[in-house]
Structure 1
Amino acid sequence: MTAIPQGRTRRAVMVTAMCALAVTGTGLTGCGSEDPDAGTNGVGKLPAATIQAKTKKAADDAKTVRLSGTVVSNGTTYTLDMRLKSDGGTGSVTSKGASFRLLRVGEHLFLKANAEFWAHQDGKSGGKPSDTAAADKLEGMYVKVPTGDPAYKRFSGFTDKDVLLDGLLSLHGDLATDGHHDESGVRTIRITGDKGSGGTLDVSLQGTPYPLLLSRAGNAGTLRLTDWGKDFALKEPSKKETVDYGQQLPTS
């Protein structure tokens, strides 16, 4: 048996260790000449601005998406779990300890919450319902929100796929790529605005380049975007489940 020179053995060990560190650092690639974009959709090789344009187009073209996580707006943190399509959306919103469900079909927006939510809104705004009994009647019912009510403008955006994504998917500042990553088992390329201070976005390297994970600028929330193109039923609640509140809701 021919002996392997000791120097060569040491070099082999060092190369192996460096490869292991490279794999650990990215979770995706080896070292040497291995191509991190091999077998992908190829967007990882593109400039950051081009990647952003492609992922925005992919999001626009998709018929549906599920969006979950947190959004900070005007100092208020909202925890969302919404399923969206072009003509409406449905899901849950939690803010300041209060949870409620939203459902929009076309222009018709419905809000469903418990009695505590309605009683809290009454105490804050001084509007209807005027007592606990009235709040109890609204518990578990879908309350139809008038289009002219401040609550309509406040909440309908959470159910609007185009408006919500257009406002969320733009990174601020100079765009750059920030390596290959992994999001729930899917290989991604990360793009950043102003080295991350303007937000980061992980874009799928498998199949259509959908946005998968967004960290908003200024610590304004983190959102996961999943179930792209997976259809779901969207219909108005029955009359037995619905209350048409009338002129103004106690949510302003």
Structure 2
Amino acid sequence: MTAIALGRTRRTSLVSAVCALVVTGTGLLAGCSEDPDAGTNGVGKLPADKIQSKTRAAAESAEAVRLAGTVVTNGRTYTLDMRLKSGGGSGSVTSKGMSFGLLRIGEQLYLKADAEFWNHADGNASAGGTLDGKYVKVPQGDPSYKKFSGFTDKDVLLDGLLTLHGALATDGHHEQAGTRTIRITGDKGSGGTLDVSLEGTPYPLRLERAGGAGTLTFSSWGKDFPLTEPKKDETVDYGKKLPTS
């Protein structure tokens, strides 16, 4: 049994024990049962479509967020650990055993990877030695820019992710990393599931995408972080096109 499940069981058992001791002349004290929405932000009492509207609005208005997990797109799985805000983002991406870093400041996107990544992308060993561990400027006209910049764009990424498909419904109270949540589903889960925080602002905390297209967790909502330009000796401008296939 997980620590979260054990904690929930203990809390429920404690409430039941207390209620069993509190009696009146007619039996147990009325209302002595645990209210899953007690002390929450109240969204757990709303219909699923209202919960979705509120959590999307909360996500859009947040200054920053960290997301981690997997995204499957066009048959390819990407493992992400990204911090995002309106001015850009930074973090790491892994796909097909290859890892690389992304940094976007305004419109400028940088890609940082080791020699193995660049040698694989170039098809030979010509690029690896030069670009190993460097922040490589990604030209906006290069196919890689459109392919990877979306991973650093908070609004674009969240707008595409935080959509459940099919009929919406609530699916009970849960917990995510110790925070109480209300879960909403699309088409009874086949259209995706989303856990929404019941504590404080109703931010989305965990997403299972429809069709097994990945699972993501969201954290550090509203917590700013620095985006710093790489030093000149750490940067390579490869021109109008990267050595990628």
Give the shorter-chain TM-score range. Answer: 0.7 to 0.9
- Give me the TM-score of the superposition, normalised by structure 1: 0.85
2:46 maps to 1:46: yes
One-letter amino acid matched to 2:228: K
Task: Determine helix, strand or coil for the equivalent of 1:181.
Answer: strand
- Match for residue 146 of structure 2 among 135, 148, 153: 153
Task: Determine helix, strand or coil for the equivalent of 1:178.
Answer: strand
Task: Determine helix, strand or coil for the equivalent of 2:82.
Answer: strand
When residues 29 and 186 of structure 1 are mapped into structure 2, their CA distance, relative to the original with a 3 A threshold, is farther
Task: Determine helix, strand or coil for the equivalent of 1:132.
Answer: coil
When residues 138 and 228 of structure 1 are mapped into structure 2, their CA distance, relative to the original with a 3 A threshold, is same
| 1:63-98 per-position Cα deviation (integer Å, ceiling 9, x unaligned) | 000000000000000000000000100000000000
Q: C-alpha root-mean-square deviation of aligned residues, in Å?
A: 2.0
Residue number in structure 2 paired with 1:6: none
One-letter amino acid matched to 2:64: T
Task: Determine helix, strand or coil for the equivalent of 1:34.
Answer: coil
C-alpha distance in 2 between matches for 1:74 and 1:202: 25
How far does residue 27 in structure 1 lie from its aligned partner after superposition?
A: 7.4
C-alpha distance in 2 between matches for 1:236 and 1:66: 20
How far does residue 35 in structure 1 lie from its aligned partner after superposition?
A: 1.6
When residues 87 and 74 of structure 1 are mapped into structure 2, their CA distance, relative to the original with a 3 A threshold, is same
When residues 137 and 54 of structure 1 are mapped into structure 2, their CA distance, relative to the original with a 3 A threshold, is same
C-alpha distance in 2 between matches for 1:181 and 1:150: 41
How far does residue 132 in structure 1 lie from its aligned partner after superposition?
A: 2.0
How far does residue 197 in structure 1 lie from its aligned partner after superposition?
A: 0.2
- Give me the TM-score of the superposition, normalised by structure 2: 0.87
| 1:154-198 per-position Cα deviation (integer Å, ceiling 9, x unaligned) | 000000000000000000000000000000000000000000000
Contact 2:89-2:153 at 8 Å conserved across structures: yes
Contact 1:29-1:36 at 8 Å conserved across structures: no
C-alpha distance in 2 between matches for 1:145 and 1:27: 54
Please say which structure displays the higher CA radius of gyration: 1
Contact 2:119-2:126 at 8 Å conserved across structures: no
| 1:182-217 per-position Cα deviation (integer Å, ceiling 9, x unaligned) | 000000000000000000000000000000000000
Residue number in structure 1 paired with 2:20: none
Number of aligned pairs? 224
Contact 1:28-1:182 at 8 Å conserved across structures: no
User: Mind listing any 5+ residue stretches in structure 1 that lack a counterpart?
Assistant: 1-22, 124-130
